[in-house]
């Protein structure tokens, strides 16, 4: 059942994160008055009993699952058990509770890393499970595939209105800028910022990119994804089911660029004039990861924010919160 009542209760799991906070803002701006969330210290979604008790008490009409353990190549490689277990537990508990308590529609957020390493480019939804995953993020990918399949299973067995959105690489305000666990865009943004004036002679120091810099990536501004979530919540179920592939829709911008080109764009936004170097001993990851956005295009939604503008907004936010990351 699609969202249309401004007073409907909407639970955002993971409302403090980059994606969840953007979704909250988008729904609030659209006039929805009854949005709520819980921090991980208030509610551990890995705990089945606590999650079900929360749903019993709150009875949300709509649910957006933006809660997840996320990170880049390094974090995925170092903490495979955490990435697999935590994400499986969160999605299993939330989806089951939503089904049992009659949630009208649930939107589950996955990731395009669920697609095979050598999937067709751009990657269509029906390429899911047609080949091996990228080894460096397979733990997270397997968990997100399971979450999508659980949505599909609840719809098939119980008629639950659950849809999965598979966003491409995300960035934006409230992103993770920790150099040990962050994704490539926020990590580079921080590196370029900290390299300004950092050379011994006061000039801009060099910035090193992992790998060759040739892999291509697509980047979606977090507030564009938030708008896509609002759009999907408000779309009639028949239209969604007709457009989606087995209840799944890609969300992206429909074009990509190399990591070298990304670095040049970030360098321009930050105003860094130093050299860019490469560390070929580090992994490249998937050679290309562009999503096919045809299905969302046909539904009537497309991303609005250019990469340069999105990076500028993200950089402005980072500079306002830089002390939090430097002190961490």
26-48 pLDDT, tens digit per residue, is 999 999 999 999 999 999 999 99
Q: Is 140 a catalytic residue?
A: yes
User: Which pTM value belongs to this model?
Assistant: 0.94
**Cα(265)–Cα(181) distance, rounded to whole angstroms?**
22
Look over the chain and give the mean of its residue pLDDT values, rounded to a whole number.
94
**Which residues make Cβ contacts (< 8 Å) with residue 201, sequence separation at least 6?**
none
**Cα(302)–Cα(88) distance, rounded to whole angstroms?**
30
pLDDT digits (tens, 9 = 90+) for 2-16: 999 999 999 999 999
Q: Residue 72: pLDDT above 90?
A: no
Q: Residue 236: pLDDT above 70?
A: yes
- Annotated binding residues for NADP(+), written as ranges, equal 14-20, 109-112, 144, 167-170, 183
**Which residues make Cβ contacts (< 8 Å) with residue 113, sequence separation at least 6?**
133, 134, 137, 140, 141, 144, 286, 289
pLDDT digits (tens, 9 = 90+) for 117-140: 889 999 999 999 999 998 888 999
Q: What is the mean pLDDT of residues 241-252?
A: 97
Among 61, 107, 95, residue whose Cα is nearest residue 229: 107
Domain ranges of the chain: 9-172+219-254+290-304
- Annotated binding residues, written as ranges, equal 14-20, 109-112, 144, 167-170, 183, 191, 210, 217, 284
CATH of 9-172+219-254+290-304, one of 1.10.3720.10, 3.20.20.60, 3.40.50.720, 3.20.20.450: 3.40.50.720
Categorize the per-residue pLDDT at 327 as very low, low, confident or very high, splitting at 50, 70 and 90.
low
Q: What is the mean pLDDT of residues 308-327?
A: 91
Q: Check 32, 62, 115, 140 and give the catalytic one.
A: 140
pLDDT, residue 78, reads: 86
């Amino acid at each position: 059942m699609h969202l249309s009542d401004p007073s409907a209760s909407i639970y955002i799991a993971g409302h403090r994160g980059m994606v969840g906070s953007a979704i909250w803002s988008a729904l609030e701006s659209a006039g929805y008055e009854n949005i709520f969330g819980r921090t991980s210290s208030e509610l551990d979604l890995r705990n089945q009993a606590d999650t079900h008790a929360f749903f019993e008490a709150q009875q949300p009409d709509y649910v957006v699952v933006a809660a997840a353990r996320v990170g880049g190549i390094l974090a995925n490689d170092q903490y495979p058990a955490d990435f697999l277990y935590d994400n499986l537990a969160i999605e299993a508990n939330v989806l089951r509770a939503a089904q049992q308590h009659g949630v009208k529609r649930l939107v589950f957020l996955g990731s395009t890393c669920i697609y095979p390493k050598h999937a067709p480019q751009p990657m269509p939804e029906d390429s899911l499970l047609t080949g091996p995953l990228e080894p460096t993020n397979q733990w997270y990918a397997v968990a997100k595939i399971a979450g999508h399949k659980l949505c599909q299973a609840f719809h098939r067995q119980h008629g639950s209105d659950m849809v999965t959105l598979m966003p491409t690489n995300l960035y934006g305000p409230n992103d993770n800028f920790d150099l040990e666990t962050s994704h490539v865009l926020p990590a580079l943004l921080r590196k370029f910022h900290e390299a300004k004036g950092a050379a011994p002679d006061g000039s801009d120091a060099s910035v090193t990119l992992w790998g060759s810099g040739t892999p291509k990536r697509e980047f979606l501004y977090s507030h564009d994804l938030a708008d896509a979530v609002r759009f999907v919540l408000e779309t009639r179920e028949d239209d969604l089911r007709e457009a989606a592939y087995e209840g799944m829709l890609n969300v992206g911008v429909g074009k990509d660029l190399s990591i070298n080109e990304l670095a040049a764009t970030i360098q321009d936004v930050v105003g860094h004039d130093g050299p860019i170097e490469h560390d070929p001993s580090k992994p490249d990851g998937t050679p290309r990861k562009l999503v096919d956005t045809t299905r969302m295009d046909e539904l009537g939604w497309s991303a609005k924010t250019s990469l340069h503008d999105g990076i500028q907004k993200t950089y402005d936010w980072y500079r306002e919160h830089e002390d939090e990351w430097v002190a961490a």
